[in-house]
Structure 1
């Protein structure tokens, strides 16, 4: 009788081991599904198919795909916003060391015209305008802008761009600290629109909106 129970026990152990192995094989053969964001990208624009985006959408790579699929005829910066700590003010113990430099598009006409402003900002991001020389306010060149940031610790550098595409598409995107955090691609009829956003805790979310 004792031998009988030992045999039954061994047969049960073998059976469980076999089921576990088969289950592992089945589990291993399961195909990983593409992310919801990637599904939305293809739903709007199948031309943007890219296997490297299938499970983890990278907006920088997606923008490169968009530019290859639809080259830009013109690219216009709508604004640039820089949040920075003025290290010189910090050393002199000024009331507020944190500042916000904003470069905004005033109009296009023949050539884009930009206006620059600088504000002292508090912890609630409330700003107090700092007076600038008039020649620095309108269409400041790169050297002028650099002169305000050369002794600064930059916390955030954000730009927003609008591209004119060659094949009747409208494209805009936002860059923060050299990485794309938002993009919007649509046809001019607005029948379909792809909106993507990079969120800090949830990664990239893309939605295809259709009329």
Structure 2
């Protein structure tokens, strides 16, 4: 598959050792259970929360900042498949703007955007991505395509993080590895967390990550901006 970034294209290839090994019945059963969990939770959140939260936040964003309330960005999903990732818009709107990572005290972030990003509410529309099968509730975070273009063929183990569905939250983010990756070691740290999650993923670990994420949203995270 080819993806585009700033008029250029790059190939999305997944080549890793386990690709040639047939999935075991245990692995398949775990995948079915995880998908059932995702659908159940995403359906409940959509009905109980998103049905009223989306109209409120859409109105708040429209009243405080010109531009569309939703931000739709192409990101890489499982096995390198590109999908439209949904978020509430937290920055000033600029048509056809080039990708640039958010930074601390970024002047593009709106007043309501700061609140949405600090509480992770900007990610809530991604429960719709979960229902569509693009994402899981817990998994490695999907990166914008320009970041993939930067690291796909140069950072060892980077593309292997896409062997599973990306998540609304992940082990890396729950443990504080979030924010701008302006230095290579920050991306390396995230990839290591992602590999650790893929190796040890379980319902129990997913529950822990969800709890850590909720605590971070309530008490704040120094890398959330």
Q: TM-score, normalised by structure 1?
A: 0.23
Higher helix share: 2
Q: TM-score, normalised by structure 2?
A: 0.22
Greater radius of gyration (CA): 1
Higher strand share: 1
